[in-house]
Amino acid sequence: MTGTTCDAPLALSNAAVQQLGHCNKCGFCLPACPTYIETGLEVHSPRGRLSLMEAAWRGELSVDQGLADALSLCIGCRACETACPSGVHYSTVLEAARTDMVRRRRRWVIPAPAAPALLRLVRHRRVFRAAVRLGRAARRLPLPASLTPLTAMLPARVDTPRAGAAPRASRSGPAVHFVDTCVMAAMFPTANRDAVILLSAAGAHLVGAPKSEGCCGALEAHVGHLETARQLARTQVARWERHLAPDTWLVAHSGGCAAMMADYGRLLGDDERWREPARHWAAQVRDFATALAALPSSLRFRGTGARVALQNSCHLVNGLHQGGAPATLLAGIPGDQFIPLAGQDRCCGAGGVYNLNQPAMARQVLARHLAEGERAAVNVWLVNNPGCALHLEQGVQALGGRARVQHLATYLRERWVDKAPQDFSQEG
Ligand code: SF4
Ligand code: SF4
């Protein structure tokens, strides 16, 4: 806590101020912004938010005058960055503004009671796994109203991958560490296992990983806990530092986490001890689909007549810039019909803990995607981020469950033509 008063101008990092200077207020980012699409209001557009943050930084606007509202409704999806012709790195400004709000203990968002608990739980794998199981069991009990949004979003089932189908060992392909990431490991271990099996079959030389623990920091960075996010990043890099050969890929089946890890170089750019290891780490990060497509063996897939749509992770698209690989892969699968929806790369509204903190807007944003899917008679929604999986699952259920939500890796493994016989027993 600093001595900053509520009336003091918004304190921004030099990098954030520099980004503000790049914005010429052209407005090209507006049509890309999901909250502007829903509200039509400048205050809930990237340009409006940048203008408000700039005014608060200049001291022309008190941080209490509407800034919190604008910051809290932003999903942090970074679509505005992709749309911006001037290259404004909006998230640097947003992150700095939210961090200053947190530092001066001004509420930029009224957090749902469950959100801080979730942020703490994800740092402790075993406790988190136990809490997920407990939460699913507790859905049958009368719970305090504050906890029901959290238990309602838990997956319908948490599969335990069987040990039978061990990945084939390759010695010739690129070395790959699979980063299992906290929410995927606790809630969707089978999808992680499917990803590892496919990567290995495509020629990855899977190399041992240090015991995974903790969170990459993405959830904390979203809510302005930048120092905690930096500390989590240091912990990750330190844990892996001795294991990471220069050409080893770090592959995750979670777009948000992959984008966060690829940003470690910037996040720890002013940390003399960790700057270089963080840059090295960041350069090695690949999303699952991008890695799969770049491996030496092309796997063959055959569909089963499904009408398939993709809900691409927005941070994979706008942060990591590896959003093209999933659609390319899907378009090449015979037997299924991949339907490229206009909104497939647009945020679904999950946004880390955004759907807990801003449930109404999160649902509204998602409804637009689901309506597009309904019009196209989609019966399988594919996801590549755990938050999107949970958010879509809830939305689809609310619509009567006519479509199925599936992780990309699990979908691909089901349709993999050359899978070993034991692989068939893996699902469930
Ligand atoms: S962020 Fe970029 S696209 Fe948006 S108003 Fe500023 S310069 Fe234009
Ligand atoms: S991060 Fe997403 S929600 Fe926020 S201003 Fe940019 S486009 Fe809009």
**Is the CB of 256 within 6 Å of ligand 2?**
no
Same domain, 267 and 330: no
User: Is there a single domain that holds both residue 248 and residue 340?
Assistant: no
Instruction: Kindly state the DSSP code that residue 301 receives in the 8-state scheme.
Output: B
- Residues 223, 147 share a domain: no
Q: Which atom of ligand 1 is closest in space to residue 90's alpha carbon?
A: 1
pLDDT tens for residues 48-91?
A: 999 999 999 999 988 877 788 889 899 999 999 999 999 999 99
Residues 200 and 240 grouped into a single domain: yes
pLDDT tens readout for residues 381-421: 999 999 999 999 999 988 887 899 999 999 999 999 987 65
Model confidence band, residue 220 (pLDDT cutoffs 50, 70, 90): confident
Residues 311 and 371 in one domain: yes
Q: 37-46, 88-97, 352-361: which has the minimum mean pLDDT? A: 352-361
Indicate whether 276 and 204 sit together in one domain: yes
Average pLDDT of the residues in 278-288: 93
Structure tokens at 111: 């957090």
Task: Output DSSP code: residue 64.
Answer: T
Q: Whose CA is nearest to atom 2 of ligand 1?
A: 84
Residue 293: pLDDT over 90? yes
Model confidence at 295, in pLDDT bands (50, 70, 90)? very high
Both 331 and 403 in one domain: the answer is yes
Angle among Cα 202, 285, 125 to the nearest 5 degrees reads: 95
pLDDT digits (tens, 9 = 90+) for 159-168: 666 555 555 5
Q: In CATH, what number is assigned to the domain containing residue 384?
A: 3.40.50
Residues contacting ligand 1 via CB (< 6 Å) = 23-29, 46-47, 50, 80, 83-84, 86, 88
Whether residue 162 is contained in a domain is answered as: no
pTM score above 0.75: yes
Q: Are residues 98 and 119 in the same domain?
A: no
pLDDT band at 364 (very low <50, low <70, confident <90, very high): very high
Domain of residue 257, residue span: 175-294
d(CA 309, CA 340) in angstroms, rounded, equals: 6
Whose CA is closest to atom 2 on ligand 2? Answer: 77
Number of domains in the chain: 4
Using alpha carbons only, what angle is made at residue 386 by residues 381 and 389, rounded to the nearest 5 degrees? 30
For residues 32 and 52, state if they share a domain. Answer: yes
Strand partners, 205: 175
Query: Contact 278/265 with Cβ under 8 angstroms?
Result: yes
**pLDDT at 115 > cutoff 90:** no
pLDDT at residue 110, rounded to an integer: 57
User: What's the confidence (pLDDT) of residue 349?
Assistant: 96
Q: What is the mean pLDDT of residues 176-187?
A: 89
| Co-location of 135 and 221 in the same domain | no
CB 13 within 8 Å of CB 92: yes
Across 143-147, 149-153, 164-168, 262-266, the highest mean pLDDT is recorded for 262-266
User: Under a CB-based contact definition with an 8 Å cutoff, are residues 403 and 376 in contact?
Assistant: no
184 and 280 part of one domain:
yes
CATH number of the domain encompassing residue 72: 1.10.1060.10
